[in-house]
Amino acid sequence: MVDSQQSKGYRVLSIFDRLMDGQGINKKQEALTHQVGEKTIQRDIDEIRTYLRKAKLNCRLQYVRTEKVYKLIQTDHNRLSKEQVLVIIKILIQSRAFSKTELNELLEKLISIVAADQDAQILLKEKSVEVDVQHNQSLVPFIWSISEAIQKNKVMTIDYVAERESISTEKMVKPLAVIFSAPYFYVLADNQDSPTVYRMDRIQHLREQDKTFQIGELHKDQPLIDVSEPIRFLYRGKYPQTVFNRFPTAKLVSQNDHAYLFEANVFGNDINRWFLSQGADLEILEPIELREEMIETIQAMQQNYHCI
Protein backbone atom coordinates (compact mmCIF):
# COMPACT_ATOMS: atom_id res chain seq x y z
CA MET A 1 0.00 0.00 0.00
CA VAL A 2 1.45 3.34 -1.08
CA ASP A 3 0.71 6.22 1.29
CA SER A 4 1.62 9.34 -0.70
CA GLN A 5 1.68 12.77 0.91
CA GLN A 6 -1.34 13.78 -1.17
CA SER A 7 -3.45 10.79 -0.13
CA LYS A 8 -2.34 11.14 3.49
CA GLY A 9 -3.25 14.84 3.52
CA TYR A 10 -6.72 14.15 2.15
CA ARG A 11 -7.23 11.25 4.59
CA VAL A 12 -6.21 13.23 7.69
CA LEU A 13 -8.33 16.24 6.66
CA SER A 14 -11.29 13.96 6.01
CA ILE A 15 -11.00 12.37 9.45
CA PHE A 16 -10.51 15.74 11.16
CA ASP A 17 -13.45 17.32 9.33
CA ARG A 18 -15.81 14.51 10.38
CA LEU A 19 -14.56 14.63 13.96
CA MET A 20 -15.27 18.37 14.07
CA ASP A 21 -18.74 17.65 12.70
CA GLY A 22 -19.40 15.41 15.70
CA GLN A 23 -19.04 12.08 13.91
CA GLY A 24 -17.28 9.05 15.36
CA ILE A 25 -14.26 7.49 13.62
CA ASN A 26 -13.95 3.70 13.53
CA LYS A 27 -10.33 2.71 12.87
CA LYS A 28 -11.11 -0.53 11.04
CA GLN A 29 -13.70 1.12 8.80
CA GLU A 30 -11.32 3.99 7.98
CA ALA A 31 -8.61 1.51 7.02
CA LEU A 32 -10.97 -0.24 4.60
CA THR A 33 -12.25 3.04 3.16
CA HIS A 34 -8.79 4.46 2.46
CA GLN A 35 -7.17 1.10 1.71
CA VAL A 36 -4.43 1.44 4.31
CA GLY A 37 -3.51 -0.46 7.45
CA GLU A 38 -5.06 0.20 10.85
CA LYS A 39 -1.64 1.31 12.14
CA THR A 40 -1.66 4.06 9.52
CA ILE A 41 -5.05 5.27 10.72
CA GLN A 42 -3.77 5.14 14.30
CA ARG A 43 -0.86 7.42 13.32
CA ASP A 44 -3.33 9.81 11.70
CA ILE A 45 -5.37 9.89 14.90
CA ASP A 46 -2.26 10.47 17.00
CA GLU A 47 -1.26 13.38 14.75
CA ILE A 48 -4.71 14.93 15.12
CA ARG A 49 -4.51 14.48 18.90
CA THR A 50 -1.10 16.23 18.93
CA TYR A 51 -2.47 19.08 16.81
CA LEU A 52 -5.44 19.59 19.13
CA ARG A 53 -3.12 19.80 22.12
CA LYS A 54 -0.69 22.23 20.49
CA ALA A 55 -3.46 24.39 19.03
CA LYS A 56 -5.01 24.61 22.51
CA LEU A 57 -8.49 23.93 21.15
CA ASN A 58 -11.26 23.40 23.68
CA CYS A 59 -11.65 19.70 22.86
CA ARG A 60 -9.81 16.40 23.12
CA LEU A 61 -9.84 13.19 21.13
CA GLN A 62 -11.20 10.24 23.09
CA TYR A 63 -11.90 6.59 22.32
CA VAL A 64 -15.48 5.64 23.20
CA ARG A 65 -15.34 1.90 23.94
CA THR A 66 -19.09 1.35 23.90
CA GLU A 67 -19.27 2.62 20.31
CA LYS A 68 -15.76 1.54 19.24
CA VAL A 69 -15.08 4.96 17.72
CA TYR A 70 -12.93 8.03 18.36
CA LYS A 71 -14.81 11.24 19.12
CA LEU A 72 -14.03 14.83 19.94
CA ILE A 73 -15.04 15.70 23.51
CA GLN A 74 -15.55 19.36 24.38
CA THR A 75 -13.51 20.49 27.39
CA ASP A 76 -14.61 24.15 27.49
CA HIS A 77 -16.87 24.70 30.50
CA ASN A 78 -18.21 27.86 28.83
CA ARG A 79 -19.81 25.74 26.13
CA LEU A 80 -23.58 25.40 26.39
CA SER A 81 -24.75 22.02 27.62
CA LYS A 82 -27.55 20.09 25.92
CA GLU A 83 -29.82 20.95 28.86
CA GLN A 84 -29.10 24.67 28.48
CA VAL A 85 -29.63 24.51 24.72
CA LEU A 86 -33.00 22.81 25.28
CA VAL A 87 -34.12 25.58 27.65
CA ILE A 88 -33.10 28.30 25.19
CA ILE A 89 -34.89 26.53 22.34
CA LYS A 90 -38.11 26.30 24.37
CA ILE A 91 -37.94 30.00 25.22
CA LEU A 92 -37.32 30.98 21.58
CA ILE A 93 -40.23 28.88 20.32
CA GLN A 94 -42.69 30.01 22.98
CA SER A 95 -41.72 33.68 22.58
CA ARG A 96 -43.20 33.67 19.04
CA ALA A 97 -41.06 36.75 18.40
CA PHE A 98 -39.26 35.59 15.24
CA SER A 99 -40.41 34.64 11.77
CA LYS A 100 -40.27 30.94 10.92
CA THR A 101 -37.25 31.42 8.67
CA GLU A 102 -35.27 33.33 11.29
CA LEU A 103 -36.33 31.02 14.12
CA ASN A 104 -35.37 27.95 12.10
CA GLU A 105 -31.88 29.37 11.52
CA LEU A 106 -31.44 30.14 15.22
CA LEU A 107 -32.61 26.67 16.27
CA GLU A 108 -30.37 24.86 13.80
CA LYS A 109 -27.29 26.72 15.04
CA LEU A 110 -28.18 25.99 18.65
CA ILE A 111 -28.74 22.30 17.93
CA SER A 112 -25.39 22.11 16.10
CA ILE A 113 -23.65 22.92 19.41
CA VAL A 114 -24.60 19.49 20.74
CA ALA A 115 -24.99 17.67 17.43
CA ALA A 116 -22.55 14.97 18.55
CA ASP A 117 -24.68 14.12 21.56
CA GLN A 118 -27.10 11.20 21.22
CA ASP A 119 -29.73 13.26 23.06
CA ALA A 120 -29.72 15.83 20.24
CA GLN A 121 -32.82 14.04 18.90
CA ILE A 122 -34.75 15.57 21.79
CA LEU A 123 -33.83 19.02 20.48
CA LEU A 124 -34.85 18.11 16.93
CA LYS A 125 -38.24 17.06 18.26
CA GLU A 126 -38.64 20.44 19.99
CA LYS A 127 -37.85 22.16 16.71
CA SER A 128 -40.82 20.46 15.07
CA VAL A 129 -43.32 22.38 17.23
CA GLU A 130 -42.25 25.84 16.07
CA VAL A 131 -45.11 28.19 15.17
CA ASP A 132 -44.85 30.95 12.57
CA VAL A 133 -45.73 34.54 13.40
CA GLN A 134 -47.76 37.00 11.36
CA HIS A 135 -44.93 39.38 10.54
CA ASN A 136 -42.13 38.35 8.18
CA GLN A 137 -39.58 40.81 9.48
CA SER A 138 -35.97 39.80 10.13
CA LEU A 139 -35.37 41.02 13.69
CA VAL A 140 -31.89 39.76 14.62
CA PRO A 141 -29.98 42.28 12.45
CA PHE A 142 -32.23 45.09 13.73
CA ILE A 143 -31.66 44.12 17.36
CA TRP A 144 -27.89 44.16 16.84
CA SER A 145 -27.82 47.42 14.88
CA ILE A 146 -29.97 49.23 17.43
CA SER A 147 -27.93 47.83 20.32
CA GLU A 148 -24.76 49.14 18.65
CA ALA A 149 -26.34 52.58 18.25
CA ILE A 150 -27.35 52.57 21.92
CA GLN A 151 -23.79 51.69 22.93
CA LYS A 152 -22.43 54.61 20.88
CA ASN A 153 -25.27 57.05 21.71
CA LYS A 154 -25.97 57.41 17.99
CA VAL A 155 -29.14 58.94 16.56
CA MET A 156 -31.03 56.64 14.20
CA THR A 157 -33.54 57.15 11.39
CA ILE A 158 -36.28 54.54 11.14
CA ASP A 159 -39.05 53.97 8.62
CA TYR A 160 -41.93 53.04 10.91
CA VAL A 161 -45.41 51.76 10.11
CA ALA A 162 -47.69 52.83 12.94
CA GLU A 163 -50.67 50.76 14.06
CA ARG A 164 -53.63 51.04 11.69
CA GLU A 165 -51.34 52.60 9.07
CA SER A 166 -50.15 51.04 5.80
CA ILE A 167 -47.44 53.54 4.84
CA SER A 168 -44.22 54.02 6.77
CA THR A 169 -43.16 57.37 8.23
CA GLU A 170 -39.53 58.41 8.64
CA LYS A 171 -38.66 59.19 12.26
CA MET A 172 -35.46 60.47 13.86
CA VAL A 173 -35.00 58.65 17.17
CA LYS A 174 -32.51 58.48 20.04
CA PRO A 175 -32.51 54.78 20.98
CA LEU A 176 -32.24 54.06 24.71
CA ALA A 177 -33.04 50.37 25.13
CA VAL A 178 -34.21 47.20 23.37
CA ILE A 179 -37.04 45.60 25.33
CA PHE A 180 -38.75 42.23 24.93
CA SER A 181 -42.33 41.78 26.10
CA ALA A 182 -43.81 38.62 24.59
CA PRO A 183 -44.37 38.29 21.77
CA TYR A 184 -42.69 41.49 20.55
CA PHE A 185 -39.38 43.32 20.69
CA TYR A 186 -39.60 47.06 21.29
CA VAL A 187 -37.24 50.01 20.96
CA LEU A 188 -37.47 52.56 23.75
CA ALA A 189 -36.43 55.90 22.30
CA ASP A 190 -36.07 59.48 23.52
CA ASN A 191 -38.09 61.84 21.36
CA GLN A 192 -37.62 65.46 22.49
CA ASP A 193 -37.14 64.27 26.09
CA SER A 194 -40.34 62.24 25.86
CA PRO A 195 -40.06 58.42 26.01
CA THR A 196 -41.59 56.66 23.01
CA VAL A 197 -41.92 52.94 22.35
CA TYR A 198 -41.69 51.48 18.83
CA ARG A 199 -42.54 47.87 18.00
CA MET A 200 -39.53 46.49 16.21
CA ASP A 201 -41.35 44.34 13.65
CA ARG A 202 -43.06 47.54 12.42
CA ILE A 203 -39.69 49.04 11.48
CA GLN A 204 -39.10 48.57 7.76
CA HIS A 205 -35.65 50.15 7.48
CA LEU A 206 -33.21 51.81 9.85
CA ARG A 207 -30.06 53.86 9.42
CA GLU A 208 -27.49 54.99 11.95
CA GLN A 209 -26.64 58.70 11.73
CA ASP A 210 -23.30 60.38 12.38
CA LYS A 211 -24.97 62.52 15.03
CA THR A 212 -24.61 61.51 18.68
CA PHE A 213 -26.77 62.48 21.66
CA GLN A 214 -26.60 62.69 25.43
CA ILE A 215 -29.16 61.00 27.67
CA GLY A 216 -31.40 63.75 29.03
CA GLU A 217 -32.21 64.54 32.62
CA LEU A 218 -35.36 62.45 32.29
CA HIS A 219 -33.31 59.24 32.24
CA LYS A 220 -30.23 60.00 34.34
CA ASP A 221 -31.31 58.67 37.71
CA GLN A 222 -33.87 56.00 36.85
CA PRO A 223 -33.80 52.65 35.06
CA LEU A 224 -34.90 52.90 31.44
CA ILE A 225 -37.52 50.22 31.98
CA ASP A 226 -39.43 52.39 34.46
CA VAL A 227 -40.09 55.44 32.30
CA SER A 228 -43.49 54.19 31.04
CA GLU A 229 -46.66 55.36 32.75
CA PRO A 230 -47.74 52.87 35.44
CA ILE A 231 -51.00 51.00 34.98
CA ARG A 232 -53.23 50.43 38.02
CA PHE A 233 -55.83 47.69 37.90
CA LEU A 234 -57.99 45.49 40.09
CA TYR A 235 -57.68 41.73 39.83
CA ARG A 236 -60.68 39.78 41.14
CA GLY A 237 -59.55 36.30 40.16
CA LYS A 238 -58.64 33.48 42.51
CA TYR A 239 -54.97 33.34 41.55
CA PRO A 240 -53.10 36.68 41.81
CA GLN A 241 -49.93 34.84 40.79
CA THR A 242 -51.35 35.08 37.27
CA VAL A 243 -50.52 38.79 37.33
CA PHE A 244 -46.99 38.23 38.57
CA ASN A 245 -46.45 35.61 35.87
CA ARG A 246 -47.28 38.22 33.23
CA PHE A 247 -45.66 41.21 35.00
CA PRO A 248 -42.75 40.01 37.18
CA THR A 249 -42.09 43.57 38.44
CA ALA A 250 -45.74 44.32 39.30
CA LYS A 251 -46.46 45.69 42.79
CA LEU A 252 -49.35 44.50 44.93
CA VAL A 253 -50.57 47.82 46.37
CA SER A 254 -53.41 46.48 48.51
CA GLN A 255 -55.92 43.67 48.79
CA ASN A 256 -59.22 42.73 50.43
CA ASP A 257 -61.62 39.82 50.29
CA HIS A 258 -62.85 40.80 46.85
CA ALA A 259 -59.91 42.14 44.81
CA TYR A 260 -56.17 42.79 44.54
CA LEU A 261 -54.94 46.25 43.54
CA PHE A 262 -51.86 46.05 41.29
CA GLU A 263 -49.53 48.59 39.74
CA ALA A 264 -47.27 47.67 36.84
CA ASN A 265 -45.09 49.30 34.18
CA VAL A 266 -45.63 47.97 30.67
CA PHE A 267 -44.67 48.93 27.13
CA GLY A 268 -46.75 49.14 23.97
CA ASN A 269 -50.46 48.75 23.31
CA ASP A 270 -50.42 45.01 22.65
CA ILE A 271 -50.78 44.28 26.35
CA ASN A 272 -54.47 45.18 25.98
CA ARG A 273 -55.07 41.71 24.59
CA TRP A 274 -53.84 40.15 27.82
CA PHE A 275 -56.05 42.44 29.91
CA LEU A 276 -59.06 41.49 27.79
CA SER A 277 -58.22 37.79 28.11
CA GLN A 278 -58.83 38.03 31.88
CA GLY A 279 -62.49 38.85 31.30
CA ALA A 280 -64.47 40.00 34.36
CA ASP A 281 -61.56 39.18 36.68
CA LEU A 282 -59.72 42.38 35.74
CA GLU A 283 -60.61 46.09 35.73
CA ILE A 284 -58.29 48.88 34.52
CA LEU A 285 -58.33 51.94 36.79
CA GLU A 286 -55.52 54.14 35.46
CA PRO A 287 -54.50 55.70 33.20
CA ILE A 288 -57.97 56.92 32.31
CA GLU A 289 -57.14 56.86 28.58
CA LEU A 290 -56.48 53.13 28.75
CA ARG A 291 -59.63 52.54 30.79
CA GLU A 292 -61.71 54.37 28.19
CA GLU A 293 -60.05 52.43 25.40
CA MET A 294 -60.93 49.17 27.13
CA ILE A 295 -64.54 50.32 27.53
CA GLU A 296 -64.75 51.14 23.81
CA THR A 297 -63.32 47.73 22.90
CA ILE A 298 -65.77 45.88 25.16
CA GLN A 299 -68.71 47.88 23.77
CA ALA A 300 -67.60 47.04 20.24
CA MET A 301 -67.41 43.36 21.22
CA GLN A 302 -70.99 43.53 22.55
CA GLN A 303 -72.17 44.60 19.11
CA ASN A 304 -70.93 41.24 17.76
CA TYR A 305 -73.17 39.26 20.14
CA HIS A 306 -76.73 40.44 19.52
CA CYS A 307 -79.40 37.81 19.89
CA ILE A 308 -79.89 35.83 16.68
pLDDT, tens digit, for every residue of 96-125?
A: 888 888 888 888 888 877 765 556 666 766
Q: Provide the pLDDT for residue 108.
A: 83
Picking from 158, 163, 142, the residue whose alpha carbon sits closest to that of residue 272 is: 163
The whole-number average pLDDT for the span 223-248 is 74
Residue 166, pLDDT > 50, answer yes
> Exposed e or buried b for every residue in 46-56, given b needs 16+ CB within 10 A?
eebeeebeeee
pLDDT for residue 239: 84
Cβ-based neighbours of 97, under 8 Å, separated by 6 or more: 133, 139, 180, 182, 183, 184, 185
Report the predicted TM-score, pTM, of the whole model to 2 decimal places.
0.53
Q: Which residues, other chains included, contact 101 with Cβ-Cβ below 8 Å and sequence gap of 6+?
A: 136, 138
**Stretch 26-53: mean pLDDT, rounded?**
90
Query: 8, 14, 16: which is closest to 37 by C-alpha?
Result: 8
Q: Which residues contact 266 (CB under 8 A, 6 or more apart)?
A: 181, 228, 231, 247
pLDDT of residue 26: 93
Distance CA 188, CA 180 (A): 10
Three-state SS at 289: helix
Q: 280: how many CB neighbours lie within 10 A of its CB?
A: 7
- With a cut of 80, say whether residue 10 has pLDDT above it: yes
The answer, yes or no, to whether residue 218 has pLDDT greater than 50, is: no
- Higher-confidence residue of 267 and 61: namely 61
CA-CA-CA-CA torsion sign (259, 263, 265, 269)? positive
- 196 or 160: whose pLDDT is higher? 160
Give the pLDDT band of residue 205 (cuts 50, 70, 90).
very high
Query: What is the layout of strands, in order, in the sheet containing 194-199?
Result: 194-199, 184-191, 169-181, 154-160, 203-212
pLDDT at 229: 64
For residue 114, which of 77, 69, 70, 84 has the smallest C-alpha distance?
84
* Helix (H) / strand (E) containing 158: strand 154-160
